[in-house]
Chain A
Amino acid sequence: MTTIVEATGLTKRYGKVTAVDDATFAVRAGTITGLLGRNGAGKTTLMHLITGQEFATSGSIALLGESPVENAGVLQHTCFIKESQRYPDDFKPKHVFATAPRFFANWDSAFARELINEFRLPVDRRIKKLSRGQLSSVGVIVGLASRAPLTIFDEPYLGLDAVARQTFYDRLLADYAEHPRTVILSTHLIDEVADLLEHAIVVDSGRVIIDSSVDALRADAATIAGPASVVDQATRSLTVLHREALGGFVSVTVTNVSDDDRRAARDAGLEVSAVSLQQLIIRQTGGAPDHHTHSTLTEEASR
């Protein structure tokens, strides 16, 4: 599989602030990759670096094997839908859709029209007068109808209600299935998109802390619950991300779990369940593993 984006030691500093810190990762062609992390983690800066709109302080970024900065040859295959894209004051959505085809070789006007209807976008209204959700749908429609080989969405659903978001996911999936391309999707609504993603890159304070397939992430983690002593025994060789206790009952989120570990835990009578992608990432980006105790009885019971 070819990589469409490759970063090595990528760093971006704004004065004293390090927005992206020594990031090394690869995005495989033809995948839907999630760029996940908290607000201000550096996702937007990363996307600007990938598309040559920001200049790296150090390190390298390759888009289709070349530097993206001022590189029309590779940039023509990208479509970057920004989170709060501002359009010219005099624009109406129809102006956007009229000029978009010239930017994107694969633009599908019929598809765009379908989407405009589905999102109920008033194309003849000044963009300044659109609601936040309608404004977002302009970007979403451009991103989808562009069929650009690399389409990047930066939190594209600000203001979109749940129905519109579901429409976006469904349309994205269906169109991606019919016309495969690489999609990078940044979001903090992780659970909503978890099933769409093939790969996840998690960013925290500018550093890439996870770069893995979503399947591997899920397979690697589990929540094990039961009596404290039994749980602690079963998880002694595993990495504990999070521990919650209530009375003598303990629930731990662990990684580096193998199927054998799971079987052993179940055999010991413990409850083994999955960790949602969102939970997993929250735990990984929330700081040091934390231990919650909900009761003073815990100390007694665990002795």
Chain B
Amino acid sequence: MDDGRPIFLQIAEQIENQIIDGTYGEGGQVPSINEFAAFHRINPATALKGITMLVDTGVLYKRRGIGMFVADGARDRLLAERRERFGTEFVRPLVAEARALGLTTDQLTEMIRKEAP
């Protein structure tokens, strides 16, 4: 699990990814905290932290006695958020790496077009 960031963040991100790719549909139920903990072999408190974070950001909500569910509009909100971060998280390092290799912007654009026609 360890890629450097706190585990609860990684858990939260994984759930977000699965909401975005449709594994968890809006209004659908996500596994319980204990199930997450058991699956990833982590302390339930850590799993709880990740889930709580998603509840705080309005991605999930809790129905007492039943479980955690995906909030309406969560997918759209997540997509919008990620698109905003796309620039800093992906494009900037891409450009920096290209610069380090001595590629011009045109060459970079050409390569992008090849990958995404």
Let me know if A195 and B40 touch, CB within 8 A: yes
For B41, list chain A residues within 8 Å (CB): 169-170, 173, 195-196
B88 nearest in chain A by CB position: A263
For A215, list chain B residues within 8 Å (CB): 6-8, 46, 49
Interface residues of B in 36-89 (CB under 8 A from A): 37-38, 40-46, 49
For B1, list chain A residues within 8 Å (CB): 195
For B40, list chain A residues within 8 Å (CB): 195
When chains A and B are docked, how far (Å) is the Cα of A196 from the Cα of B42?
Answer: 5
When chains A and B are docked, how far (Å) is the Cα of A197 from the Cα of B5?
Answer: 16
A123 within 8 A of B: no
For B2, list chain A residues within 8 Å (CB): 274, 276
Known: A32-B45, A173-B44, A195-B43. 16 other contacts (CB 8 A): A32-B43, A169-B41, A170-B41, A173-B37, A173-B38, A173-B43, A176-B44, A195-B7, A195-B46, A196-B41, A197-B43, A215-B6, A218-B6, A218-B7, A219-B6, A222-B4
For A32, list chain B residues within 8 Å (CB): 43, 45
Interface residues of A in 178-203 (CB under 8 A from B): 178, 195-198
Let me know if B34 and A178 touch, CB within 8 A: yes
Let me know if A274 and B38 touch, CB within 8 A: no
A95 CB to nearest chain B CB (Å): 32
- Asked if A31 meets B38 with Cβ closer than 8 Å, knowing A177-B33, A272-B4, A276-B2, the reply is no
Let me know if A274 and B3 touch, CB within 8 A: yes
B5 CB to nearest chain A CB (Å): 8
A178 nearest in chain B by CB position: B34
Chain B contact residues: helix, strand, loop or mixed: helix
B8 nearest in chain A by CB position: A215
B89 CB to nearest chain A CB (Å): 11
Interface size, B (range): 20 to 34
B residues near A, CB below 8 A? Answer: 1-8, 33-34, 37-38, 40-46, 49, 96, 100
Interface size, A (range): 20 to 34
Let me know if B45 and A198 touch, CB within 8 A: yes
For A173, list chain B residues within 8 Å (CB): 37-38, 41-44
Residue of A169, A170, A177, A218 contacting most chain B CB atoms (<10 Å) = A177
For B44, list chain A residues within 8 Å (CB): 173, 176-177
For B42, list chain A residues within 8 Å (CB): 173, 195-196
B93 CB to nearest chain A CB (Å): 8
A264 within 8 A of B: no
B92 nearest in chain A by CB position: A267
Residue of B40, B43, B44, B96 contacting most chain A CB atoms (<10 Å) = B43
24 contacts between A and B (CB under 8 A): A31-B45, A32-B45, A169-B41, A170-B38, A170-B41, A173-B37, A173-B38, A173-B41, A173-B43, A177-B34, A177-B38, A195-B1, A195-B41, A195-B42, A195-B46, A196-B43, A198-B43, A198-B45, A215-B8, A215-B46, A215-B49, A272-B4, A274-B3, A274-B4
A174 within 8 A of B: yes
Let me know if A174 and B6 touch, CB within 8 A: no
A30 nearest in chain B by CB position: B45
A273 within 8 A of B: yes
When chains A and B are docked, how far (Å) is the Cα of A120 from the Cα of B44?
Answer: 27
A12 CB to nearest chain B CB (Å): 30
B100 nearest in chain A by CB position: A269
For A170, list chain B residues within 8 Å (CB): 38, 41
